[in-house]
Chains A and B, each alone.
Chain A
């Protein structure tokens, strides 16, 4: 396993930023980390990058413990924080050469490695520019190039595409997709479409708790449909929830005499069974419509109630 997190808790005074978070990742692939603002995504990445210390629990990256062997972990990671890097008066290639020195890249490989990272992040034409005169997007790419230096087996990216123009976003996504076969990328993002398109697996954090850990393939294989039934609301809900293939039933709305439910199931037979049950109980079936489960639906299912509660 590349990243192993066990019962990780992080508190800042009375605020609990992470609450007993546990997960593991494979040595390769892209794992998305999504959640609303203040969910604890950046805190989790900072702990994995050894910038913060956990309050409780254990964290190891590429076999090195984040607390007892922080330097060992730092040699195995490439980390892109949410702040742009570097000294404003330094040139891009000078800054990256300094970072390569810090990371201990041997002198004979340094120039080749710099050229590789500059080319990968489309920075080669502007390598002699001062960092202070770069746009936010270019600075993010400097950070990205810094993270890629030394080919670390674990990459931790905090919102890598924020501030980039559409073309840069596309190129960055292609770069990340290319990295998926080489190493593990833990990607924190607010862009659900990006996570859905890029990631093999998605973790959802809410108020510091890991509420969902699901491979994207599971999301694609789930069946989702909306059903409008003329019948008592609670009985309809119970009937749907009791079906063997159904995992989640959500009440959507009520019209004059019918109720609409959104149902998520593990296979397509759930729809047939739901229809058959309605008929057998003498309830009217007004509509049965298949919908597609997106990551956004999945996310809103968890985050929506929390957001409403907070509001």
Chain B
């Protein structure tokens, strides 16, 4: 009825369309590394684009964005309350309220600690649970390129969720001094704002990379979210640790070491208006190690 051997003994086959990459690879050993790197960047960019589109296709994505905007709104109302009371009765009188707004405030850090697990939980765990990962992993793309693309997309989405924070600051700058009921206006400096943004972007790389590792380690998205939430919580605890160590009389070297690990502390340093390249490099390095670990976990996970 449909026997292949009776009907089609041989057909002249059109040339496979996947040839160009094969020829690119034979270009010479000297350029092999460059070719590999370009391939990695190209494939990661494809995954990045796909993941971003996927996020905006789901209604849950918009709910998450709305939630992030509402958190920013809540935090902004807190900031306006502080400003209307005057800086002297701010929560921490030593800090500029603007710096606190885009720095170490509970709304922002707490929001990130919730956002990152929610954004990253589906990236790998859900794909593997639903079997979609098998389609991904058997395409001509390395696990590292997949994870890198997903990381870039999740990081961009995290920053997108934080855009309302900037929007509120721009509104504040615009209205600064024009509403007389809240005083003559404040000395508004965009330096700490920009540095705070850079700091959040830098610390965000570590947060997102942790979320991806958790997603790669877990089979279920809920478990991944819980694990990364715990990891974020641990990072916050490290932020409080130096004061506790100081209280318990630990040597200054230990306190300095723990302070250096504190992501909360890093956000605080950036929000004062100073961009510290070593801190950015440190976060990028940690993120790179975590991304590599997530890719390794994916490879290992497939085999079990």
Partners in one complex: yes
| Chain A positions near chain B (C-beta within 8 angstroms) | 12, 28-30, 46, 49-53, 71, 74-77, 79, 81, 83-87, 89-90, 94, 98-99, 101-106, 109, 113, 143, 146, 150-153, 170, 173-174, 176-178, 180-183, 197-200, 216-217
Decide yes or no: A150 and B46 within 8 Å by CB, A74-B140, A81-B131, A104-B21 being known contacts: no
Known: A89-B57, A197-B3. 11 other contacts (CB 8 A): A28-B10, A29-B4, A71-B140, A86-B132, A86-B135, A90-B53, A103-B139, A150-B17, A151-B13, A180-B5, A199-B4
Provide the bound-state CA to CA distance between A153 and B17, in Å: 10
Assess whether A87 is in contact with B8, with CB atoms less than 8 Å apart: no
Provide the bound-state CA to CA distance between A217 and B16, in Å: 30
Residues of A within 8 Å of B303, CB to CB, are 52-53
Kindly supply a per-residue 1/0 record for chain B positions 110-139, scoring 1 wherever the CB is within 8 Å of any chain A CB and 0 otherwise: 000000000000000000001110110111
User: Which one, A113, A170, A180, contacts B4 given CB within 8 A?
Assistant: A180
Assess whether A83 is in contact with B130, with CB atoms less than 8 Å apart: yes
Assess whether B8 is in contact with A51, with CB atoms less than 8 Å apart: no
Decide yes or no: A176 and B138 within 8 Å by CB, A87-B57, A181-B10 being known contacts: no
Shortest CB-to-CB span from A208 to chain B, Å, is 16
Assess whether B20 is in contact with A104, with CB atoms less than 8 Å apart: yes
Kindly supply a per-residue 1/0 record for chain B positions 142-161, scoring 1 wherever the CB is within 8 Å of any chain A CB and 0 otherwise: 10000000000000000000
Cβ of B141 within 8 Å of any chain A Cβ, yes or no, is yes
Residues of A within 8 Å of B134, CB to CB, are 46, 51, 81, 83
Decide yes or no: A173 and B16 within 8 Å by CB, A75-B22, A146-B135, A181-B10 being known contacts: no
User: Which one, B15, B50, B140, contacts A98 given CB within 8 A?
Assistant: B50
Residues of A within 8 Å of B5, CB to CB, are 29, 180, 200, 216-217
Assess whether B8 is in contact with A178, with CB atoms less than 8 Å apart: yes
Provide the bound-state CA to CA distance between A76 and B50, in Å: 23
Shortest CB-to-CB span from B150 to chain A, Å, is 13
Instruction: Report the 4 A-B pairs with minimum CB-CB distance, sorted nearest first.
Output: A83-B131, A180-B4, A181-B8, A181-B11
User: Which one, A51, A84, A177, contacts B302 given CB within 8 A?
Assistant: A51
Residues of B within 8 Å of A105, CB to CB, are 17-18
Decide yes or no: A182 and B135 within 8 Å by CB, A101-B46, A106-B20, A176-B4 being known contacts: no
Residues of A within 8 Å of B7, CB to CB, are 177-178
User: Which one, A12, A75, A180, A183, contacts B21 given CB within 8 A?
Assistant: A75
Decide yes or no: A113 and B132 within 8 Å by CB, A102-B43, A177-B2 being known contacts: no
Provide the bound-state CA to CA distance between A180 and B53, in Å: 37
Assess whether A79 is in contact with B138, with CB atoms less than 8 Å apart: yes
Assess whether B138 is in contact with A74, with CB atoms less than 8 Å apart: yes
Provide the bound-state CA to CA distance between A98 and B7, in Å: 34
Assess whether B54 is in contact with A75, with CB atoms less than 8 Å apart: no
The chain B residue sitting closest to A156, CB to CB, is: B138
Residues of A within 8 Å of B22, CB to CB, are 75
Decide yes or no: A150 and B1 within 8 Å by CB, A50-B138, A103-B140 being known contacts: no
Q: Supply 18 A–B pairs (Cβ within 8 Å), ascending by A.
A: A29-B5, A49-B138, A50-B138, A75-B140, A81-B134, A87-B54, A87-B132, A94-B53, A102-B46, A106-B17, A143-B135, A151-B14, A151-B16, A181-B8, A181-B10, A183-B13, A198-B2, A199-B4
Assess whether B131 is in contact with A151, with CB atoms less than 8 Å apart: no
Categorize the interface residue count of chain B.
Answer: 35 or more
Residues of B within 8 Å of A81, CB to CB, are 131, 134-135, 138
Provide the bound-state CA to CA distance between A74 and B16, in Å: 13
Assess whether B2 is in contact with A197, with CB atoms less than 8 Å apart: yes
Residues of B within 8 Å of A28, CB to CB, are 10
Decide yes or no: A200 and B58 within 8 Å by CB, A28-B10, A74-B139, A79-B138 being known contacts: no
* Interface hits, B40-76 → A, CB 8 Å: 43, 46-47, 50, 53-54, 57-58
Residues of B within 8 Å of A143, CB to CB, are 135
Assess whether A102 is in contact with B141, with CB atoms less than 8 Å apart: yes
Residues of A within 8 Å of B141, CB to CB, are 71, 74, 102
Cβ of B249 within 8 Å of any chain A Cβ, yes or no, is no
Provide the bound-state CA to CA distance between A153 and B46, in Å: 24
User: Which one, B1, B11, B54, B58, contacts A182 given CB within 8 A?
Assistant: B11
Residues of A within 8 Å of B132, CB to CB, are 83, 85-87
Provide the bound-state CA to CA distance between A104 and B21, in Å: 7
Assess whether B13 is in contact with A51, with CB atoms less than 8 Å apart: no
Provide the bound-state CA to CA distance between A53 and B18, in Å: 24
Provide the bound-state CA to CA distance between A150 and B15, in Å: 9
Decide yes or no: A90 and B16 within 8 Å by CB, A49-B138, A75-B22, A200-B4 being known contacts: no
Residues of A within 8 Å of B50, CB to CB, are 98
Assess whether A198 is in contact with B43, with CB atoms less than 8 Å apart: no
Residues of A within 8 Å of B28, CB to CB, are none
Cβ of B9 within 8 Å of any chain A Cβ, yes or no, is yes
Shortest CB-to-CB span from B143 to chain A, Å, is 10
Shortest CB-to-CB span from B222 to chain A, Å, is 18
Cβ of B304 within 8 Å of any chain A Cβ, yes or no, is yes
Residues of B within 8 Å of A87, CB to CB, are 54, 57, 132
Decide yes or no: A153 and B11 within 8 Å by CB, A87-B57, A99-B139, A198-B3 being known contacts: no
Kindly supply a per-residue 1/0 record for chain B positions 263-304, scoring 1 wherever the CB is within 8 Å of any chain A CB and 0 otherwise: 000000000000000000000000000000000000000111
Shortest CB-to-CB span from B64 to chain A, Å, is 15
Provide the bound-state CA to CA distance between A143 and B7, in Å: 25
Provide the bound-state CA to CA distance between A102 and B142, in Å: 11
Assess whether A152 is in contact with B21, with CB atoms less than 8 Å apart: no
